[in-house]
Chains A and B, each alone.
Chain A
Amino acid sequence: MSDGAVGPGHPVLAAERISKSFGEVQVLFSVDFDVRAGEVHALMGENGAGKSTLVKILSGFERPSAGRILLDGEPVTLPQNGAAEALGIVLIHQEFNLADHLTVAESLFLGREVLRFGLLNRKVMRAEARRVLDELGARIDENALISSLAVADKQMVEIAKAISRKARIIFMDEPTAVLSREETALLFKQVRRLKAQGVSFVFVSHKLDEVMEITDRVTVLRDGQWVKTAPTSALDGEAIAQLMVGRELSSLYPAKHEPDVDEALVLQVKGLTTGYVKNVSFDLRKGEVLGFSGLIGSGRSELMEAVAGLRPRIAGEVMLHGAPLAPLAFREANGRGLAYMTKDRKGKGLLLDEPMTPNLTLQSIDQHVRHHYLDPASEARALARARRRFDIRVRDERVKAGRMSGGNQQKLLLAKIMETEPDVIIIDEPTRGIDVGTKQQIYHFIAALAREGRSIIVISSEMPEVIGLCTRVAVMREGELVGMLEGEEVNEQVIMRYAAGLKRRGAAA
C-alpha cells in the first residue's frame, strides 16, 4: 500500500466555486474541492458547515446555485437523483437506501437486474452477489431480507452495491457511525484495496482518529466556506478540530466529580435478564456519571430499555430510590424521576414533522395543562427556557425538527428529556453524528447535571467519551456485564480488552 498517494493522482471530479442556497438561506459559499484518482479525501466540518450539501451536489442529488462541476476535467451537469451512478459516482447515504422487503442479492441488482428470456435470472444475480460479498469479507447471507440485517450489515450491503456498480468515486457520509471497531477495520481494508485499484473516496466523518488513519487529504469547511485543504500527514487531530470550530478546544471534557462512596444508591439493578441481556447487576450513586462501554450489539441499549421499562424483562429487579420498579412501567419510572434518552433521535426521539415546541413538551405535557386545556403561553416559556439552557440555535422557532442540524436536534432531545425533571438519566449515545463544538457543549451539560446531584448513565461507543466523562465504566459483551472499571483502569486498552472478550470480571483483580 503506497501511502504517499497524494502526488500523482489527477483530479477526477472537481467543484469550482460552488454555491448553494435553499430559499433565502445560503449554505455554501463559492467552495472549491477536488477528488484525485485513487485518494481518500476527508471532508470535515461542524454540523451545518455544508458537508452533506456539497456531497449531494457532487453526486447529483442537488443542483448548485452557482459554480461548475468538472468530471475528468470537462464541465458536466450531473444527472439527478442517483443517475450519476452511471458515471461511476456513487453516494452512500447516511440513512440507507435499501428496501426492507428485498433480499441482499435483489438489493445489489436493484434497477439493473440481470434478465434471461425477459425473466429475472436469480441464479446469476445470487452468485454475483455472493462474490462481491466474499470479496468484502462480509459474512452476510445473500438471500437474507434487508429487514433482518443489523445496521452494520446494511452498511456493508450499501458498499457492496457501490462496488458491484464499478464506482469510480464513492461518497460516504459518516460510514462508520454505525459500525463496530472490527467492522470499521474491515471497511477500511476494502477502502485501501479499492483505492489501490484507482477508486477515489470522499469520506465525511466526525471521527478524527479514523480520518487520520484512512485519508490522504483533508478539506475543512466552516459555515459553508472552504477553510483549508491539506495532506492528512501535515495535520493532526487537534489542528483539524481547531480548523473546524475556528477556536481552540481547550477542554473537550469538563472536570470529573467523583461522588462520595457513601452517597445514596439511586438505582440498583439485580440479575436483569431479557431475551439477549443475561443476568446484569449494577448500582448507580447520586451524582455519579456511570459509563457503559462495549461493542455495538453488546446489549447496552437493550439493558437500559429494560431498566427504564420500555422492554420486557425475563428476570431480575430494578430498585429506583430504594423502591422496586415494575417491569414495563416506563410511565411510572418517568414519574419517579427516571428518564431514558434514545440514541435514535430521528426514529424514536423527535417528531421530525413538528416544530420545536410540541417536541419539547411531549413527554412533560401535564405541566402545561390548565383546567384540562393546554396553555400555549406556558409551552412558549418552556421553549424559551430550554433554548437558553441548552443553547439551541435556530433562525426560526417554527422550524420543523427534521430540518434542524444534528447538533440542535440532540440538544432539543436532551431538553425534552430534562423537561420531565428526572434525577436519574440514561443517555444512549449522547453525541452520535454531531460536531465537535456541540459535543463539547453536551459533555458540559452532562457534567453540570451531575454536579446538580443528578445521576447519569452514559452509553457510548466512543471510548474517549466514556473515559472523559465517567468515573466508573461498565463494559458489556454479548449481553453480559463483563467488567466494572474504576480509577486507573478506565482507559482505552483495558476497556477494549474487556469489550473484545480478552478479559472478564473475576480475572481482573
Chain B
Amino acid sequence: MAVDTDITGPVRARRSWRDVDLRAVAPFVALALLILIGALVNPNFIGITNLANVATRAAFIALIAVGATFVISSGDLDLSVGSMVAFVASLMILFMNSGAIADPGMMIAAAMLLALVVGALCGLANGLITTVGRIEPFIATLGTMGIYRGLTTWLSQGGAITLRSPEQQALYRPAYFGSVLGMPVPILVVLVVTAIAAIVLYRTRYGRHVTAVGSNRDVARYSGISVDRVRIAAFVIQGVCVAIAVMLYVPRLGSTSATTGILWELQAITAVVVGGTALKGGAGRVWGTICGAFILELVGNIMLLSNFISEYLIGAIQGTIIIIAMLVQRSLARKA
C-alpha cells in the first residue's frame, strides 16, 4: 500500500515509534506480569534468593537460545542442540577422566577449550549440511540430532558418564555454584554472552547480514552478501553457545547421560519465539530471548510454589505459552 507520498508529518513519526516499541517490549511486560502473579501466589517467590535460583536454572536454556536467535534470525532452525549438549558434555567428561593432563586446573581449561571446539564443529557440520548439502535445516538438524544423541548413547553405553576425579570436581564446582560479587556465576555468564551477542547482532556488519539473509536471501545475494557463509557462521555460533552451556552444566552434576538435554531444543526455540524473534527469520531480539528463557523457568517455579496446578502439567503450560506468544506477536504485527 502506497501511503507514504508527500511530505513529513510529525504525527505519523510518533505513531510508528510506538508500534516498533510495542513488539520489543511485549516479552518484558509479560515477565513483569508473571513476577506480579508469582508474588501474589507465594510471598517467598519475590525474594532475591528464589529469583536468583530461577535465573540460574534458566541459564542453560538461555545460553542455547542466544545461539538459536542467530540461527532463527538468519532463517534457519537447529533441532540438534539438545543432543549436542549431551554429546559435547560426554566428550568433555571423558576427556577429563582420561588423565591426559596431570594438573587439574590445566585439565579443566583444556576440557573447556575442547568443548568449545567440539561445539563449534558440531555447529559447522549442521551449517555445511544445510547450505552445501542444500537440505532443509529442519531435516538436516533432525538428522544430526539423531547422530549426536546416538553417539552419546554409544559413548556412555546407555548409562551415565561421571566425572571421576574429586579434585577436578572440587575445582570446577564454583563455575556453576559460585558467585562473583554476590551474583551467581551462571547469571553472569548469561549476561556477558548476551551482551556480546547483542553487539554482534545489532552493531556489526555480520549482524546486519544475518538480518538481511533471514528476511530475504535473494536480496542478500543481490547485495553481494555470501549467504551460505552467513548461515554457516550462525550455526557455528549456535554450537559455541551450546558449548558454553555445557561448561556450566558439567560442574553442576559432574555427570551426563544419554538422556541429557532431551527436549531442550524445543525450550530454546520457545524462548526465542517468546522473546519476539520472528520464526520466519529477519528480526532477531537477543535480550527478548533471555527474557523468554526466564519466563519459561519462572512459570515452572510459580507452578511449583502454588498449589493450584500440578507441576506435571508444566509441558502443557509451556506449550500454551508458545502459542499465546505467537498470537500476541501476530496481533501486534497487524497493528504495525
- A residues in contact (CB < 8 Å) with B: 22-25, 27, 46-48, 52-53, 223, 310, 330-331, 334, 340, 342, 344, 347-354, 358, 361-363, 365-366, 369, 372-374, 393-399, 403-408, 416
Contacts and interface: CB of A to CB of B under 8 A. Distances in A.
B208 A347 contact: no
Contacts of A353: 215, 282-283
Interface stretch (B2-10, B71-79, B184-192, B248-256): B2-10
A398 B17 contact: yes
Given A310-B222, A362-B208, A393 B6 contact: yes
A46 B6 CA distance: 12
Contacts of B6: 48, 223, 393, 395
Nearest to A392: B4
B219 A351 contact: yes
Interface string B210-222: 0110011011111
Interface stretch (B93-101, B197-205, B265-273, B302-310): B197-205
A435 to B, nearest CB: 9
B5 A52 contact: no
A421 to B, nearest CB: 13
Interface string B277-304: 0000011000000000000000000000
B157 interface: no
A330 B17 contact: no
Interface string B4-20: 11111101110111001
A408 B218 contact: no
Given A25-B3, A405-B2, A406-B2, A340 B205 contact: no
Nearest to A363: B223
Contacts of A407: 5
B204 A52 contact: no
A324 to B, nearest CB: 19
B132 interface: no
A363 B225 CA distance: 8
Contacts of A358: 208, 211-212
A425 to B, nearest CB: 14
A448 B11 CA distance: 35
Nearest to A365: B205
Residue of B4, B205, B283 most packed against chain A (CB within 10 A) = B4
B218 A48 contact: no
Residue of A52, A366, A395 most packed against chain B (CB within 10 A) = A395
B2 A396 contact: no
B226 A331 contact: yes
A374 B16 contact: no
Contact of B1 (A22, A349, A365, A372): A22
B3 A27 contact: yes
A48 B4 contact: yes
Nearest to A400: B336
Contact of B204 (A23, A373, A398): A373
Contacts of A393: 4-7
Contacts of B17: 398
B53 to A, nearest CB: 36
Contacts of B7: 393, 395
Contacts of B8: 394-396
B3 A347 contact: no
Residue of A53, A372, A397, A406 most packed against chain B (CB within 10 A) = A372
Residue of B7, B20, B212, B223 most packed against chain A (CB within 10 A) = B223
B215 A351 contact: yes
B224 interface: yes
Interface string B26-61: 000000000000000000000000000000000000
Interface in B168-212: 199, 202-205, 207-209, 211-212
A330 B216 contact: no
Contact of B13 (A365, A374, A395): A395
Interface in B140-192: none
Nearest to A397: B13
Residue of A53, A331, A352, A363 most packed against chain B (CB within 10 A) = A363
A432 to B, nearest CB: 15
Contacts of A347: 216, 218-219
B143 to A, nearest CB: 24
Interface of B: 1-9, 11-13, 15-17, 20, 199, 202-205, 207-209, 211-212, 215-216, 218-226, 282-283
A77 B216 CA distance: 38
Q: Which 8 A-B pairs have the closest CB atoms?
A: A48-B5, A405-B2, A48-B2, A363-B223, A348-B218, A394-B4, A395-B12, A348-B222
A403 B222 contact: no
Nearest to A438: B5
A53 B5 CA distance: 14
B209 to A, nearest CB: 8
Residue of B3, B8, B13 most packed against chain A (CB within 10 A) = B3
A406 B18 CA distance: 25
A398 B10 CA distance: 12
A362 B218 contact: no
A272 to B, nearest CB: 19
Given A24-B12, A354-B211, A398-B17, A408 B4 contact: yes
Nearest to B2: A405
13 contacts: A22-B3, A27-B1, A48-B2, A223-B6, A340-B222, A362-B223, A365-B205, A374-B204, A393-B6, A395-B4, A395-B6, A395-B8, A403-B1
Contact of A334 (B4, B202, B215, B224): B224
A363 B212 CA distance: 10
Contacts of A374: 202-205, 207-208
Nearest to A375: B203
Contacts of A408: 4-5
Contact of B12 (A223, A349, A366, A396): A396
A331 B5 contact: no
B224 to A, nearest CB: 5
B195 to A, nearest CB: 13
A431 B3 CA distance: 19
Residue of A52, A362, A366, A373 most packed against chain B (CB within 10 A) = A362
A445 B77 CA distance: 43
Contacts of A354: 211-212, 215, 282
Nearest to A305: B222
A362 B212 CA distance: 8
B15 A342 contact: no
A340 B221 CA distance: 12
A48 B7 CA distance: 13
Nearest to A340: B222
